[in-house]
Amino acid sequence: MGADTKFYTPGNLSFVEAILIIEKTLGCEVEPNSHRITDFESGYFGITYKQQHRAISFGNNIRDFDPKQVHTVFSLGCSVNSVEILTLIGEQLGGWLDENDCDDKPNIYIEKKGEPIELNNRQKLLRSLASTTGYDEAVKILEIIQDNKSEILALNFGVDET
């Protein structure tokens, strides 16, 4: 197992929120590669940053950093730009950076500098769907909703149509 650079932020970010934060912070497109939901959400994102393709792993409901509080963790293999990438994400969220999880150096606290990310209605629906179906299925459901918007708007939920 190789050395990783990790960033821990308090609380539970969703997979969708993590994608939006990475896109906003790094200014690059995010390719969700896998998304799993068990007792926590986890997955991998592919990004291209400064012409290097990297994979960022993500997990929430993590207690290994501080057993008294849940955290979300972003992790990259120690390599070129790992500290830079996770510092930029850290400045958006606030938390602790571990530059090399195989050394004994203390974690570095990064103060939050970014504005909160406001989710639009589509992103809120995607977050809600993804938390139960997984990201790929949620995207498919949103496409079906978009393709059938007029029929959906014509529905009268809870009203007898007889």
State pLDDT tens for residues 78-101: 887 899 999 999 999 999 999 988
Identify whether residues 69 and 11 lie together within a single domain.
yes
Residue 35 three-state SS: strand
Number of domains making up the chain: 2
Identify whether residues 97 and 141 lie together within a single domain.
no
CATH of the domain at 56: 3.30.310
Identify whether residues 84 and 140 lie together within a single domain.
no
Contact 100/79 with Cβ under 8 angstroms?
Answer: no
Identify whether residues 129 and 58 lie together within a single domain.
no
Compute the distance between CA of residue 105 and CA of residue 5 in angstroms, rounded to an integer.
Answer: 12
Containing structural domain, residue 98: 4-110
- In this prediction the pTM is 0.78
Cα distance from N-terminal residue to C-terminal residue, the chain = 64
pLDDT at 108: 92
